[in-house]
Chain A
Amino acid sequence: MNIVVCVKQVPDTGSERTLRPADSTVDREGADALINVLDEYAIEEGLRLAEAHGGEVTILSMGPPRASESIRKALSMGADKAVHIVDDGLAGSDAAATSEAIAAALGRIGFDLVILGSESTDARMGVLAAMLAERLGLPQMSLASEVEIDGQAIRIHRQADYGYDKVEASLPAVLSVVEKINEPRYPSFKGIMAAKKKPVETLSLADLGIDPARVGLAASGTEVVSFAKRPPRQAGTIIKDDGDGGEKAAEFLAAQKFI
């Protein structure tokens, strides 16, 4: 099985995250950067499926040069090789342009299954899997909390508010995973060392045959009109429970007209 796992490097949620005043894009240089947490679950699922069914796992990432750190981390979990789409012309791309570049790369790489985390922690749109399915004309097997591959059939539990739907399709397919799906492994020391030698191919817009006018900030289908830091919350009332904490809390709710 040829499995490609898409990985995005994102600013650490624990750092202060900002937009660049110059062009309102996400500041990817300032904060600490790491693999989008749900992508770790996607990598883990790719590795498990490859272990169970035989095959290779390729990491695919679109990002600035700095994303190479996260690509190595993904390789150290056990993936076999990687492809890094990197081109200044891609900076500021919206979701649609991102999906176009990734779809083009997937076309070059070839795959039975492409796996993504269902959502990134920076943009939190949760749209890439759906856009790839649309562009590639493949089944959209998204929001999976469980996956089973049976020959050419793929079956998932698609997470919903009420529980889940059982969904079935044929490979090749686009799969996105939610946190419930597995527990990602930690890279071993051996894995970290081996990752240094694993091949990482870089691809530019020219390599992908994409017209630069279709991607990047200037081509974006949305624009930021303005942004501002939200004023900090006012400090509230904190009390110690002296045997009547619950009663005082009920009083607060009544005063605020919640009851």
Chain B
Amino acid sequence: MAEILVLAEHSGETVKKVTCELLTLARRFGEPAVVWAGPGAEAARDRLAEFGAAKVYVAAGEEFDEYVVAPKAELLAGLVAAASPAAVLVASTPEGREIAARLAVRTGSGLITDAVGIDEGLVAELSIFGGAIVVHSRVTSGTPIIAVRPNATTPEPAPGAAEIVPAGTGVSDAAKGARVTGRVVQEGGERPELAEASIVVSGGRGMGNAENFAMIEKLADTLGAAVGASRAATDAGWYPHQFQVGQTGKTVSPQLYIAIGISGAIQHRAGMQTSKTIMVVNKDAEAPIFELADFGVVGDLFSVVPQLIDGIQQRSGG
């Protein structure tokens, strides 16, 4: 059976949820072979085996964290040449897409990004133009490279051998052009990542200031959710830019999206309108976001949200 290479998303030895999603998808089309760049593979092995990895190609060097993107693309290109896989799956994160892009150029392959599903024949399903159009497309040149949107697939366990296979022969100088000299970790560490979360709570212009975002964080925490923000809020400096949901920020498609004090301008909707369930709180009954709402409350968010938080806490017994 042909291999499907799956580029592992991980933080040290912690396997990110999207890797389990990719393995679940890969199993439908071939034998899943994880590609693990950087340290941590030995400790992660059981987790990878739990989701059906037959093999884990490991290139353990520090360079994968020290130099931007190019070393991972180079590693994958070498494995594509050596293993002739039926496809390569990566997470459709900003970095994942960049790795996939460089791999596509190196191998002369077609590339599909932001796939929300993969059907028989490696036909990818895409949701484009802010969710207005559903597209089915496939790669017609080289080795199909598909970047899959996190949280679009339910991970399903299945046993695998996860045999560790050393890979890569060191990182070339050509791949060392952009060097990481430091990392700055900002607030929000404990909450789920925006792209991975099943529930997202976002605040907008209606919040009024940065301090009031504490209420958004509190609501998010009662639901185990990620926090998002509209462009108006991030532009005003009320919440950091990497949490912006929208046309120039992140696209999310969680099970539940709660929009607090957000009017729903097109550029915000472009980032969230395929969410499965949408709840809205806004004092303006005419706000366009109500068109998307499965449940909406027209009212003062400073009364509604605290009451909502209480209601959730009572029902969850805590």
Please state if B70 and A249 are interface contacts (CB–CB under 8 Å): no
A30 to chain B, nearest CB (A): 12
Please state if A245 and B123 are interface contacts (CB–CB under 8 Å): no
Please state if A131 and B105 are interface contacts (CB–CB under 8 Å): yes
Residues of B within 8 A of A247 (CB): 307-308, 310-311
Asked if A150 lies at the interface with its beta carbon under 8 angstroms from chain B, I say no
Please state if A133 and B241 are interface contacts (CB–CB under 8 Å): no
Stretch in A52-60, A105-113, A201-209, A226-234 with 4+ CB within 8 Å of B: A226-234
Asked if A256 lies at the interface with its beta carbon under 8 angstroms from chain B, I say yes
Docked CA distance A168–B292 (Å): 43
Please state if A159 and B101 are interface contacts (CB–CB under 8 Å): no
Docked CA distance A139–B98 (Å): 13
Please state if A249 and B183 are interface contacts (CB–CB under 8 Å): no
Residue in contact with A249 in the complex, picked from B94, B136, B266, B281, CB distance below 8 Å:
B281
Asked if A167 lies at the interface with its beta carbon under 8 angstroms from chain B, I say yes
Given contacts A140-B69, A245-B307, contact A239 B296 (CB under 8 A): yes
Asked if B167 lies at the interface with its beta carbon under 8 angstroms from chain A, I say no
A36 to chain B, nearest CB (A): 10
Interface readout for A230-259 with B: 1 if CB under 8 Å, 0 if not? 100100111111011111111111101011
Docked CA distance A143–B307 (Å): 39
Residues of A within 8 A of B55 (CB): none
Asked if B249 lies at the interface with its beta carbon under 8 angstroms from chain A, I say yes
Residues of B within 8 A of A227 (CB): 133-136
Interface readout for B102-119 with A: 1 if CB under 8 Å, 0 if not? 101110111111100000
Please state if A258 and B223 are interface contacts (CB–CB under 8 Å): yes
Given contacts A118-B94, A239-B298, A240-B298, contact A220 B140 (CB under 8 A): yes
Please state if A225 and B138 are interface contacts (CB–CB under 8 Å): yes
- CB neighbors of B among A57-79 (8 A): none
Chain A interface SS verdict (over half): mixed
B55 to chain A, nearest CB (A): 27
Asked if A95 lies at the interface with its beta carbon under 8 angstroms from chain B, I say yes
- CB neighbors of B among A117-161 (8 A): 118-119, 121-122, 124-131, 133-135, 137-143, 145, 155, 157-161
Docked CA distance A106–B164 (Å): 43
Residue in chain B with minimal CB distance to A118: B94
A2 to chain B, nearest CB (A): 19
Docked CA distance A233–B275 (Å): 11
Docked CA distance A164–B109 (Å): 30
Docked CA distance A72–B78 (Å): 44
Docked CA distance A252–B311 (Å): 10
Asked if B156 lies at the interface with its beta carbon under 8 angstroms from chain A, I say no
Given contacts A166-B184, A179-B248, contact A127 B100 (CB under 8 A): yes
Please state if B181 and A160 are interface contacts (CB–CB under 8 Å): no
Asked if A185 lies at the interface with its beta carbon under 8 angstroms from chain B, I say no
Please state if B247 and A161 are interface contacts (CB–CB under 8 Å): no
Residues of B within 8 A of A161 (CB): 93, 193-195, 242
Please state if A237 and B294 are interface contacts (CB–CB under 8 Å): yes
Stretch in A14-22, A42-50, A187-195 with 4+ CB within 8 Å of B: A14-22
Please state if B97 and A220 are interface contacts (CB–CB under 8 Å): no
Asked if B137 lies at the interface with its beta carbon under 8 angstroms from chain A, I say yes
Asked if A33 lies at the interface with its beta carbon under 8 angstroms from chain B, I say no
Docked CA distance A236–B292 (Å): 8
Please state if B114 and A230 are interface contacts (CB–CB under 8 Å): no
Please state if A127 and B111 are interface contacts (CB–CB under 8 Å): yes
Docked CA distance A141–B189 (Å): 25
Residue in chain B with minimal CB distance to A94: B110
Please state if A145 and B295 are interface contacts (CB–CB under 8 Å): no
Asked if B180 lies at the interface with its beta carbon under 8 angstroms from chain A, I say yes
Residue in contact with A124 in the complex, picked from B140, B251, B300, CB distance below 8 Å:
B251
Docked CA distance A207–B314 (Å): 70
Asked if B293 lies at the interface with its beta carbon under 8 angstroms from chain A, I say yes
Residue in chain B with minimal CB distance to A16: B132
Residues of A within 8 A of B141 (CB): 221-222
Docked CA distance A135–B108 (Å): 12
Residue in chain B with minimal CB distance to A18: B133
Please state if A237 and B183 are interface contacts (CB–CB under 8 Å): no
Could you show 11 A-B contacts with beta carbons less than 8 Å apart?
A162-B186, A166-B180, A178-B241, A180-B234, A229-B134, A238-B290, A240-B285, A241-B300, A247-B310, A253-B256, A259-B315
Measured CB to CB, the residues of A under 8 A from B are 13-14, 16-19, 24, 37-38, 94-96, 99, 118-119, 121-122, 124-131, 133-135, 137-143, 145, 155, 157-169, 173, 178-180, 220-230, 233, 236-241, 243-254, 256, 258-259
In the complex, the 10 A-B pairs of residues with the closest C-beta atoms, listed nearest first: A246-B307, A250-B311, A241-B299, A221-B110, A139-B177, A127-B101, A163-B186, A221-B141, A246-B308, A130-B98
Query: With contacts A17-B132, A258-B223 known, what are 17 further pairs, Cβ within 8 A?
Result: A14-B266, A99-B105, A125-B97, A126-B94, A126-B98, A137-B177, A140-B177, A161-B195, A167-B180, A178-B241, A220-B140, A221-B108, A222-B137, A243-B303, A246-B306, A249-B279, A258-B256
